[in-house]
Structure 1
Amino acid sequence: MEIIPSTTQQLIAKHKLNIGTFLFYTNIVVGEFDEGVHVTKENAIEPIYLCQKIYGDYKPIIYISHRLNSYSADTMGYKEVIEMFPNFKGFAIVSNNKYRRMLVTLEKLFIAKPIGVFDNIDSAFSWAEKVLEKGS
């Protein structure tokens, strides 16, 4: 996975982990989970640790879920994971699949931050930069 956003975001690091690939930009993390993975708080510890290591507790960040593959997630752990990031400012979902985009309705119940839904990654990056500018 290589993404070159048409924004000011610069790629800082790229990590291929057991559950997927994560790209760390200036203020944006793009996660692409592998096909068939069931994401839980427990198996997401490694990317969570990387986020904390790279961004600390103060640098504002947006998470973009790049949903190219089919996978499942334990939504019950969302709130706890988000509480680990006082600097988390928003969440974007990118998918060409309308059913995957519809899952946002459920995810909004667990994420009390701005959420954007997009069918392409450039739109998600543009939205994320606007959210970061507002300081939400």
Structure 2
Amino acid sequence: MIYTIPEALANRLRPLIPASIPLYTQRATVDMVSEGQPPVAVAIRFIRPAPVRQLPGAVMAYDVEIAFIVLVDEGRATPADLARAESIYTAALQSLVEWEIAPGRMTRFSDGPAPDDEAGVALFSFGVVVPTFITSTP
């Protein structure tokens, strides 16, 4: 169940990302430096599950946190690429405000991975928190 959440988010956000920009999910290796790679890419990554509370009836609530990351190769990005990256980031945020991944399971936002600028590739991100529930077995 946990690993289906990043794919559900990818399905929701894929229409917002131009076909020329790669969308990496889960274990795919992001390649920003090989020849022919576009200067902007998007990644959706599982961060962690976090127990939240015990509920009546042997149910535990926990949050699954996913990161939405926009990567930009600053050395190759044009002003149009930077505008496209910002547009994707904003559209993704707007698309997930109060989105219910399933009835009664509304997404919230959290911090994503820290901003980075490794090897000239900047990333900016946000976290998406999806409430999840597990019941005990007899």
Q: TM-score, normalised by structure 2?
A: 0.31
Q: From the two aligned structures, give the one with the greater helix fraction.
A: 1
Q: Which has the larger radius of gyration?
A: 2
Q: TM-score, normalised by structure 1?
A: 0.31
